[in-house]
Amino acid sequence: MEKELRVIISGGGTGGHIFPAISIANAVKAMRPDAKILFVGALGRMEMQRVPAAGYEIKGLPICGFDRKNLLKNVKVLYKIWKSQRMAKKIIKDFRPQVAVGVGGYASGPTLNKAAAMGIPCLIQEQNSYAGVTNKLLAKKAEKICVAYEGMERFFPAEKIILTGNPVRQALLDTTITREDSIRSFGLDPEKKTILLVGGSLGARTINESMLRHLDLIKESGLQFIWQTGKYYSAEIAERLKDQHLPNLKVTDFITDMGAAYRAADLVISRAGASSISEFCLIGKPVILVPSPNVAEDHQTKNAQALSTRDAAIYIKDAEAPDCLIQTAIETVNNDAKLKSLSENVLKLALPDSANIIAKEVINLANGI
């Protein structure tokens, strides 16, 4: 009889960290239904809601990032780091995991530092083509480092690296809805080409501004658009659109069924988060990437360039998007040869079965293999 499997998974802050973490947990549970899994996140961050919603227990640490603008505030940050280290040690002592997994984000630092110091084998998963600060610091202490891009030896010891890809939301891959039904579910016409714009759950100001600046072009395009504005911007955009007659535009603050949205789209406009890119690769979706400039180490630009240099995506700089994004999207979606080429090239970059590959590594580490 196998010994009980106990796993700590730590990290979060964004969907790009949380979705892979939950996918790994689900894959571990599928292989070992008896596994006990505990998440450790940062208090006040989105993992504290998303993880329990997925059916897992989570403990919160008071950790936060350094304030680069107001250095005096970092006295409080240092105290929170110290407190988080102490709390992480107690959580690990009480839970007694055989393995710790870090997916990036504030909480994974103190959790995996303490786990390694207590002799617990650690695995880290890096979603981006440019490694995050936390994972770079943890690399020396990790036994295995699972990555989604080639060439990560410039950040991590080569002998620890396993090229696994990023786990994605399984519901996106399992959706059975047809393109026609998915378009009708948004109240649109299946006979027309469709562009989907997503800026994450909170929205993306630049993508939204690009749309608002070119409403006449959108009206005359003969195309239709599904526009996720994000909850933060939805009221302002509704106000600015109230006198516009745009039957070819479906505006929503949040899309619950992203599988249907992707199926409806002939072309997607998106930020360049690692999880989103992994989804586009696996479903072979033509995409225009507008990287957010407001992320650590400008990693979204590196992600976008990793695809655009292989002709697997179109990359538009954030500063240039308000002027040219919508025109480029219209030209692209009307070019069937370009859509086919983008789809074929992005599919070549797909790394399927990531969650299961990582889960096997987690279980092996727990078993001392």
Separation between Cα atoms, residue 284 and residue 65, nearest integer Å: 35
Structure tokens at 368: 């001392």
Q: Which amino acid is at 291?
A: P
115 touches 318 (CB < 8 A): no
Helix (H/G/I), strand (E/B), else coil: 239? helix
pLDDT at residue 34, rounded to an integer: 95
Q: What is the pLDDT of residues 147-178, one digit of tens each?
A: 998 899 999 999 999 999 999 877 777 788 99
Sign of CA dihedral 132, 133, 135, 136: positive
Structure tokens at 272: 């360049």
Q: What is the dihedral of CA 333, 335, 336, 341, to 10 degrees?
A: -90
Q: What is the pLDDT of residues 335-345, one digit of tens each?
A: 999 999 999 99
Q: Which residues have C-beta within 8 Å of that of residue 91, sequence separation ≥ 6?
A: 8, 38, 40, 59, 111
Entry pTM: 0.85
Residue 230 clears pLDDT 70, i.e. is over it: yes
241 confidence band (pLDDT: 50, 70, 90)? confident
Residue 72 clears pLDDT 80, i.e. is over it: no
294 confidence band (pLDDT: 50, 70, 90)? confident
Separation between Cα atoms, residue 8 and residue 340, nearest integer Å: 42
Give whole-number Cα distances, 319 to 89, 268, 274, in Å: 44, 19, 21
Separation between Cα atoms, residue 108 and residue 104, nearest integer Å: 6
Most confidently predicted of 72-81, 236-245, 312-321: 312-321
Tell me which residue of 279, 291, 288, 7 sits closest to 121, measured CA to CA.
7
Mean pLDDT of 51-78: 85
